[in-house]
Structure 1
Amino acid sequence: MNKKSTHVVPNPKGGWKVKQSGSSRASNLFDTKQPAIDRARELSTRQHTELVIHNKDGKIKGKDSHGNDPYPPRG
């Protein structure tokens, strides 16, 4: 199972950044949050990673899994 994730986090210098877990550098920088979320969703979908969206205070606002759900669907 791939444990990597793609994060949308506030940039201390202003705006928002998209970061991959385990990386010290941002892969993308944006002035506003929505374009950062859109780009992170594209990346996490393509890479089958979890998308983690943070608030301005750094706390996690929400998550979205893209292909690595912890439990298989029933049925």
Structure 2
Amino acid sequence: MAKTPSTSNTRFVQPNPQGGWDNKKAGASRAGSHHDTKQGAIDAARQMSQREGSELKIKNLDGKIAQSDSHGHDPRNIPG
């Protein structure tokens, strides 16, 4: 049976209240990295997420999740 990623195995790209964008693992008190641009944070978070085999959730300025990627947890036997 495929293992489902837990919340603690999720990485977020989210706006920082002081400006810029953070790449942060769920449950962490500090960001893994801080970037001036959203794309910079996405690129760094995607590399880390692929290496960790974790979920990646990208938020908009309003805090809502705009995009979600799964790295290493995609089922292989889905028809279609």
The residue number in structure 1 matching 2:55 is: 50
The amino acid across from 1:15 in the alignment is G
Query: Which of the residues 20, 23, 29 maps onto 2:28?
Result: 23
The alignment covers a number of residue pairs equal to: 74
**Which of these two proteins has the greater Rg computed from alpha carbons?**
2
Cα deviation, residue 22, structure 1: 1.2
SS of match in other structure, 1:17: strand
Which 4+ stretches in 1 moved above 3 angstroms?
A: none
Normalised to the residue count of structure 2, the TM-score between the two structures is 0.85
Provide, for residues 28-61 of structure 1, a one-character-per-residue CA deviation record: whole Å limited to 9, x for no partner: 0000100100000000000000000000011100
The residue number in structure 1 matching 2:46 is: 41
The Cα RMSD (Å) is 1.3
Give percent identity, aligned residues only: 49
The amino acid across from 2:77 in the alignment is P
SS of match in other structure, 1:73: coil
The residue number in structure 1 matching 2:37 is: 32
The residue number in structure 2 matching 1:61 is: 66
Gaps (5+ residues) in structure 2? Answer: none
Gaps (5+ residues) in structure 1? Answer: none
Cα deviation, residue 72, structure 1: 4.0
